[in-house]
Chains A and B, each alone.
Chain A
């Protein structure tokens, strides 16, 4: 899977996938699913708060998108992500979803083939582990003020400017603390995920 923090590169990959699917390239269809599936499921799950429903909607979205792309390219070929997002959000509406489920007929080989790739890197880390890792992270922060930055941001949902004013820190310091804390937490999650994976293999 190619990572594209660069919007220009993302547009190029998008246009290429759209073109290849239009030419009947089945591997391009699989690539489309693999590339956007995880994000799409996450996005829909945030809206519906229902993991199974999010999975269903994501699969329906890809079926519809592939059927559409096989017939004709979308208007903005460099924004296939936007097309998928729009389709998924439409499906997430309960009334539309019922209608679409009845009418979905597209070949689902590509969707089925890529379905196993939907798991995220932290999915096997339990919520109980999350709490332990959060405590570890907060314990590791030597400065009380930096702990307050995290707590005010995530527990109290305060705005950045309000936090900076309350704690007497500038915007750059806030960004730095938050960025490092998130990176560290991600590192802790990754380590926990890999250790959990090893235990599963061992057992």
Chain B
């Protein structure tokens, strides 16, 4: 009986639990009688087996057998509660982001742009002043710069005008003024040649959520590219 046979057939373990056939047992015992190294292996395995059985008897093995502590914690009721709360918060937050993303998707603001053009829109109350711009490229972003007033936040809406009809193209909410200027980014692809209006509204933080005040409208005309 050689080492390979002993290893592949689990001879040591079967010997220790008395599960060898009579022929195997005789061959194995003759093998280890003259082989001190093999005898060491048998005795080490026996002590390992006895040690595991002793730990099993005293109940200490369950600690070692159990998953790691972090896995135990994952399986605990405390973790279940904490995870549920976290999941609920995450879902709520994700839902908020999802609404925002839908809005952005509609406006194409999540698009990557090759170039940006800044367009200042000035309101001339009482006048019928129209700002003309050439139709942007599809990979171009137009950033409208608008004068701010004394509101905490602003909402800008781009409307396409066809006669007396208005079609909402995009809305950007929760805008804040920086240096008395509000910047509104618009993807070039939504600005096809035609007439547009930019509606600007403002609100104070202590107002009800749905209350806005319209304070200016600016006319915009997008001209075909030459």
Tell me the bound Cα distance from A193 to B60 in angstroms: 24
Tell me the bound Cα distance from A147 to B17 in angstroms: 19
Q: Which of these, B35, B43, B51, B67, contacts A4 with CB under 8 Å?
A: B35
- 137-171 of chain A: CB within 8 A of chain B: 137-139, 144, 147-148, 150-151, 153-155, 157, 159-160, 171
Contact B61–A157 (Cβ < 8 Å): no
Contact A139–B64 (Cβ < 8 Å): yes
Contact A185–B48 (Cβ < 8 Å): yes
Query: 0/1 per residue, B1-37, Cβ < 8 Å to A?
Result: 1110001101011000101000000100111111111
Query: 0/1 per residue, A171-198, Cβ < 8 Å to B?
Result: 1000100110110011001000000000
B52 within 8 Å of A by Cβ?
Answer: yes
Contact B37–A5 (Cβ < 8 Å): yes
Q: Which of these, B19, B31, B34, B41, contacts A13 with CB under 8 Å?
A: B34
Q: Which of these, A81, A82, A121, A160, contacts B40 with CB under 8 Å?
A: A121
- 29-86 of chain B: CB within 8 A of chain A: 29-45, 47-56, 60-61, 64-65, 67-68
Q: Which of these, B33, B35, B44, contacts A85 with CB under 8 Å?
A: B33
Classify chain A: how many residues form its interface, as a range: 35 or more
Query: 0/1 per residue, A1-40, Cβ < 8 Å to B?
Result: 1011101001001100000000000000000000110111
For the complex of A and B, 3 pairs with smallest distance between CB atoms: A134-B51, A39-B33, A186-B44
Contact A154–B35 (Cβ < 8 Å): no
Tell me the bound Cα distance from A186 to B177 in angstroms: 74
Knowing that A1-B36, A85-B30, A151-B56 touch, tell me 14 more A-B residue pairs with CB under 8 angstroms: A3-B37, A5-B2, A81-B34, A84-B33, A134-B55, A135-B64, A137-B48, A138-B64, A144-B68, A147-B65, A150-B48, A151-B52, A175-B7, A182-B45
Q: Please name all residues of chain B whose beta carbon is closer than 8 Å to the beta carbon of A189 when the two chains form the complex.
A: 44, 47
A97 within 8 Å of B by Cβ?
Answer: no
Segment of A48-56, A98-106, A107-115, A125-133 engaged in the interface with chain B? A125-133
Contact B67–A36 (Cβ < 8 Å): no
Main secondary structure of the interface of B (DSSP, over half): helix
| Chain B residues near A (Cβ < 8 Å) | 1-3, 7-8, 10, 12-13, 17, 19, 26, 29-45, 47-56, 60-61, 64-65, 67-68
Q: Please name all residues of chain A whose beta carbon is closer than 8 Å to the beta carbon of B50 when the two chains form the complex.
A: 127, 130
Tell me the bound Cα distance from A84 to B134 in angstroms: 107
Contact A186–B34 (Cβ < 8 Å): no
Contact A175–B8 (Cβ < 8 Å): yes
A79 within 8 Å of B by Cβ?
Answer: yes
Contact B55–A135 (Cβ < 8 Å): yes
Contact B40–A120 (Cβ < 8 Å): yes
Q: In chain B, what residue has the closest Cβ to A137?
A: B48
Given A81-B30, A85-B29, A154-B48; A38-B36 close (CB under 8 Å)? yes
Tell me the bound Cα distance from A36 to B32 in angstroms: 9
Tell me the bound Cα distance from A120 to B37 in angstroms: 11
A-B pairs with beta carbons under 8 Å apart, 25 shown:
A4-B35, A5-B2, A7-B31, A10-B34, A36-B33, A38-B36, A38-B39, A39-B33, A39-B36, A122-B47, A127-B51, A130-B48, A130-B50, A130-B54, A131-B51, A131-B54, A134-B52, A134-B55, A135-B64, A138-B64, A148-B65, A150-B48, A154-B52, A182-B41, A185-B44
